[in-house]
A and B are shown apart, each in its own frame.
Chain A
Amino acid sequence: NAGVTQTPKFRVLKTGQSMTLLCAQDMNHEYMYWYRQDPGMGLRLIHYSVGEGTTAKGEVPDGYNVSRLKKQNFLLGLESAAPSQTSVYFCATKVGDDPYEQYFGPGTRLTVT
């Protein structure tokens, strides 16, 4: 039972390159989230999904796209990376709509040069 896993753990991109971060969960949770964590700013919600085939914007969605083709996977894409997207990205899951706690993955450290 791996919980929430994220791939890759680290990545360095050049400005303008694209990449996809994968979040996978084996807990059968309906809700999935992508956050970014920057120094001194806590976690900010990028996008989230309330179920397979659905996505919604969070607090800082610009420059990112997401897809939830399968219930267990939530992908975060950067089409044209910018240095401002250097951050640590966390995926999280939640059982359902109620205010349950979120379960977090280990994070992906992305550097854009």
Chain B
Amino acid sequence: AQKVTQAQTEISVVEKEDVTLDCVYETRDTTYYLFWYKQPPSGELVFLIRRNSFDEQNEISGRYSWNFQKSTSSFNFTITASQVVDSAVYFCALSGPYNFNKFYFGSGTKLNVKP
């Protein structure tokens, strides 16, 4: 069965601190896709990144970076030098391989960045 676990319910940091959001997934499939979405206070989910199971390269986009490790079934998300605007709920999700209409979302991690 597909499952995504985000064990950190809520994290609070002070601006400029680095923070890592954990995502652990379960799947028996060898082909799958992982996603991160951001849900700011306005409510709308915003796509951040997609990674397929055959690409274990870490990715960096500005202050954001993602560490994908198949050996530990983890796809962690790090924000460097956090800012108040990073305050949001972040969701990790898993999809594939036979039905790309089924997205399995984690329960989300609420990040509070204080000035």
Contact = CB atoms under 8 A, between A and B. Distances in A.
A107 B44 contact: yes
Contacts of B91: 42-43
B103 A45 contact: yes
B101 A101 contact: no
B88 to A, nearest CB: 13
A46 B42 CA distance: 22
A31 B100 CA distance: 10
B52 A40 contact: no
A45 B102 contact: yes
Interface residue tally on A, bucketed by range: 20 to 34
Contact of A58 (B43, B50, B102): B102
Interface in B23-57: 33, 35, 37, 42-47, 50, 52
Nearest to A103: B47
Contacts of A43: 45, 91, 103, 105
A36 to B, nearest CB: 11
B106 A42 contact: yes
A105 B43 CA distance: 9
Interface of B: 4, 6, 9, 33, 35, 37, 42-47, 50, 52, 91, 95-96, 100-103, 105-108
Given A90-B45, A97-B101, A103-B47, 9 more contacts: A40-B107, A43-B105, A48-B101, A56-B101, A92-B45, A99-B52, A100-B100, A106-B43, A106-B44
17 contacts: A33-B101, A42-B91, A43-B45, A43-B91, A43-B103, A44-B105, A56-B101, A58-B102, A88-B43, A99-B50, A99-B95, A99-B100, A101-B47, A101-B50, A103-B47, A104-B37, A104-B46
